[in-house]
Amino acid sequence: MGSPVARMARRIAALALAALLAACAPDGGPGPATDGVPPLTVFAAASLKDALDEAAGAYAARSGQPVRVSYAASSALARQIAQRAPADVFVSADRDWMDWLQERGLVDPATRADVCGNALVLVAPRETPTGTVALAPGADLRPLFGERGRLALALASAVPAGRYARAAFESLGMWDGLAPRVAEAENVRAALLLVARGEAPLGVVYASDARAEPRVKVLATFPPDTHPEIVYPAARVAASTHPAAADFVAWLRSDAAGDIFRRHGFIR
Amino acid sequence: MLEIDIELRRGRFQRHVRIVEDARVLALTGPSGAGKTSVLYAIAGLLRPVSGRIAIDGRVLFDSQRRIDLPTHRRRIGYVFQDARLFPHRSVRANLLYGRHGRRGGEAPFGLDAVVALLGIGHLLDRRPEGLSGGEAQRVAIGRALLSQPAILLFDEPLSSLDRARREELIPWLQRVRDEVKLPMVYVSHTEDDVRRLAHAVHRLD
Amino acid sequence: MFTPAETSAILLSLKVALAAALASLPPGIALGWLLARRGFPGKALLDALVHLPLVLPPVVVGYALLAWLGRNGAAGRFLEEHFGIGFAFHWTGAALASAIMGFPLMVRAIRLAIESVDRRLEQAAATLGAGPLRVFLTITLPLAWPGVVAGTALAFAKALGEFGATITFVSSIPGQTQTLSTALYGLMQVPGGEAGIWRLALVAVAISLLALLASEWLVRRQRRGGRD
């Protein structure tokens, strides 16, 4: 019954409902489900991408446990976990966000461990004639800037890489002179991009980032005592019931994992 | 002196129109769809004929052979549309005075006071077009066309959107304009009655 | 109530958004008119190009601007060498990025408004001796005014909230390019930044409401006053 229009409308409504239901259905995830083994879901800081992809692959190969990793800013991931996102493991780019979760009982402190560290480096576009620069108290970087050059950092008040850079310059007594020259990018990879493209003559990024970008060269490494220790803590998410979660975190501390991290420019 | 010899095409409608007329007030009649409005549009430059020539008192407005096609705003025609087309965002006075600009120097033969008196619209000057009756709007439209100092007046069925009473009301005003304004006029209508009462000559299109 | 950095960010956002909206007006009106009133080969392509920023991820737009108008970009280097103007790391770059992101919204609103203007009124104006420019300024534009105002308000609001394209193109430089959105983003990154986020979010809402009220007033004023 009903006009052709009404029939068409009903058909469209049925299709829409079917699509909606399909979208809500639980999915098995993109990872290869080996014999129906549910994949391990890892939330990790974006700066770990290349290293952790390789490490996760190695773990899956040796244990048969598929792992899928979601990368984003540590802040976003921590907030999602607080909203009961279905993560099994969390790897953060700094201690603050792991502490924040731990305070709220959202991660399992017994499984918490630092999986690697990083160094802070001063980079410049590859074609820059300058060789190396000594980063000591009172060093003057201004000749390297030219007339209008900028120092590229991640957001200095918010993103860990930016905060570490600022802390390092402050402890060297260089921050006040550099502050007017600073250009803060959304994250450390964006700051890296500015230097790689020659938009900024100088930038401060992680050693692991500089390793990944052929268009920049390292002018100096910040002495470790000039900034808080850069560590990447990992832990099992408290609400997770996945049997392999704690094992994966423990494996990240193994020598095999350590080799992978070192190869990507991290400290182990 | 009106000289029209054109080939018109508008969608599927196509016809050849030839009018050579000395009478000052010419009526153009014919059934609907005969192309009366198209002829007016062609004179006004709102519709380009496929070919031909249009001249008023020796002034050539369009000549396809000599590649003459004056843009509408330079043809000095005063057009009174069937639906008045008053500017809704301006007062009646502003509408009347719209055409005053752009007229090159010299004395303006039609002044605001004279036109207002001629058409009896003095009490409407500060009103907005939306509050006017059909007949009032048409009179303002006529005044507006006059005040643009045209060389010819074109009326496109000015009475057909009015009811009988308003029509009877407006015809005397049109006769007044005809008598006191010494401009050539082309008057389009499909009703024999007002044609008879207003025109000096009639050209029928069918 | 606000830290100096936050106040600076709020004022800068207002400056950038206002500049973006106003600078977009002339090209916005021109393109709106062109798309509404003219047919020409390639019109569909132009329409698609105008809408591109609407469908592209903002970071992509920002990256394109960086590649082209950055200090090392082809056009950027040219502009700096020959005219001494630079968009990179400058508030004008933030305004440009925001303007581009909001442009499709403005053009749509203006185009629709112009399309709804009765062409017969434009014809009548022409018969009264008004040339095309005068017709546009005295008939088309005034009658399309509500759409123009709406388009400007949309562009302003979009510019106020713009983040991805801006920070990718000109980074965040306090006093130059650190806008309200950037400040909000920064607060999101730090644990315990929630109070600041609410404060700044309220400011953003307040500004948007004011912009809306202003646009309503502008439309009503034109309708009431008219020109005599």
pLDDT, position B100 = 67
The architecture that CATH gives domain C4-225 is Orthogonal Bundle (1.10)
pLDDT mean for each 10 residues of chain B (206 residues) = 89 87 89 85 93 92 93 93 93 90 55 86 92 90 91 89 82 87 88 85 85
Residues A190, C188: C-beta atoms closer than 8 Å? no
Which of A44, A121, A183, A61 has its CA nearest to residue C172? A183
Residues C173, A184: C-beta atoms closer than 8 Å? yes
Whole-number Å distance between alpha carbons of B123 and B83: 21
| Residue C89 in this model has a pLDDT that exceeds 70 | yes
Which string of DSSP letters, residue by residue, matches B123-159? GGTTS-GGGS-HHHHHHHHHHHHHHT--SEEEEESTT
C-beta separation of C47 from C122 below 8 A: no
Mutate which of C189, C194, C197, C200 to disrupt the A interface (most A C-beta within 10 Å)? Answer: C189
C-beta separation of C17 from C163 below 8 A: no
Q: Which chain B residue is nearest to residue C222, measuring alpha carbons?
A: B89
Which of A110, A98, A120 has its CA nearest to residue A44? A98
Put simply, whether the predicted model's pTM sits higher than 0.95 gets the answer no
CA dihedral C188, C194, C195, C201 (to 10 degrees): 60
Number of Cβ within 10 Å of residue B200's Cβ equals 14
Residues A186, C168: C-beta atoms closer than 8 Å? yes
**How does residue C51 score in pLDDT terms, banded at 50, 70 and 90?**
very high
How confident is the model over A211-266, as pLDDT tens digits?
989 999 999 999 999 999 999 999 999 999 999 999 999 999 999 999 999 999 99
Q: Which of C71, C172, C173 sits opposite A199 (nearest CB)?
A: C71
| Residue A29 in this model has a pLDDT that exceeds 80 | no
Whole-number Å distance between alpha carbons of A91 and A101: 12
- Angle, alpha carbons B66-B69-B72 (nearest 5°): 165
Which of C145, C54, C62, C68 has its CA nearest to residue C104? C54
pLDDT, position B102 = 45
Average pLDDT over residues C211-228: 76
Are chains A and C touching, using the cut-off of 8 Å on CB pairs and a minimum of 3 such pairs? yes
The amino acid at B58: G
Number of Cβ within 10 Å of residue C137's Cβ equals 11
Are chains C and B touching, using the cut-off of 8 Å on CB pairs and a minimum of 3 such pairs? yes
Which of A221, A199, A225 has its CA nearest to residue A265? A221
CA B32 to chain centre: 18
Whole-number Å distance between alpha carbons of A159 and A230: 13
pLDDT, position A133 = 86
What secondary structure letter does DSSP report for A151?
Answer: E
Residues forming a β-bridge with B78: B153
| Residue C70 in this model has a pLDDT that exceeds 90 | no
Whole-number Å distance between alpha carbons of B198 and B195: 5
For chain B, list residues whose CB is within 8 angstroms of any CB belonging to chain C: 44-46, 71-79, 81, 83, 85, 87-91, 93-94, 98-99, 101-103, 126, 128, 144-145, 148
Residues B145, C128: C-beta atoms closer than 8 Å? yes
Give the neighbours of chain C: at least 3 Cβ pairs within 8 Å.
Answer: A, B
Which residue is it, tokens 């060389």? B151
pLDDT, position C4 = 85
Q: Which of B89, B126, B148 sits opposite C128 (nearest CB)?
A: B148
CATH number at residue B83: 3.40.50.300
Whole-number Å distance between alpha carbons of B86 and B139: 11
The two structure tokens encoding residue A139: 């060093």
Average pLDDT over residues C168-185: 88
Residues B85, C121: C-beta atoms closer than 8 Å? yes
Q: Classify C60 in phi/psi space as left (phi over 0), alpha (psi -120 to 50) or beta.
A: alpha
Interface pTM (ipTM) of the complex?
0.89
Q: Which of A159, A183, A185 sits opposite C189 (nearest CB)?
A: A159
Whole-number Å distance between alpha carbons of C180 and C182: 5
Query: Which residues in chain C are contacts of B79 at CB distance < 8 A?
Result: 124, 127
How confident is the model over C112-142, as pLDDT tens digits?
999 999 999 999 999 999 999 999 999 999 9
pLDDT, position C21 = 96
pLDDT, position A203 = 95
Which residue is it, tokens 């009133």? C37
Rg of chain A on CA atoms, in Å: 23
Which string of DSSP letters, residue by residue, matches A9-30? HHHHHHHHHHHHHHHHS----S
pLDDT, position B177 = 86
Whole-number Å distance between alpha carbons of C9 and C173: 10
How many domains does chain B contain in total?
Answer: 1
| Residue C32 in this model has a pLDDT that exceeds 90 | yes
Work out the minimum CA distance from B145 to partner chain C, whole angstroms: 7
Chain B contact present for C138, CB below 8 A = yes
How confident is the model over A88-122, as pLDDT tens digits?
999 999 899 999 999 999 999 999 999 999 999 99
Whole-number Å distance between alpha carbons of C56 and C164: 11
pLDDT, position B35 = 84
Average pLDDT over residues C29-54: 94
Average pLDDT over residues C82-111: 92
Work out the minimum CA distance from C200 to partner chain A, whole angstroms: 16
Given CA atoms A82, A86, A88, A91 in this order, what sign does their dihedral have? negative
Structural domains in chain A, CATH included, are: 29-117+231-263 (3.40.190.10), 120-226 (3.40.190.10)
Residues forming a β-bridge with B9: B14
Average pLDDT over residues A4-17: 74
Q: Which strands, in side-by-side order, build the sheet including B51-56?
A: B13-21, B2-10, B51-56, B59-63, B68-69
Chain C contact present for A199, CB below 8 A = yes
pLDDT, position A21 = 66
Q: Which chain B residue is nearest to residue C118, measuring alpha carbons?
A: B85
pLDDT, position A14 = 72
pLDDT, position B112 = 86
Q: Which of C126, C139, C223 sits opposite B73 (nearest CB)?
A: C126
- 3-class SS string, A35-76: HHCCCEEEEEEHHHHHHHHHHHHHHHHHHCCCEEEEEECHHH
Coil, strand, or helix at residue A216?
A: strand
Pairing of strands B68-69, B77-80: unpaired
Coil, strand, or helix at residue C130?
A: coil
What secondary structure letter does DSSP report for C138?
Answer: I
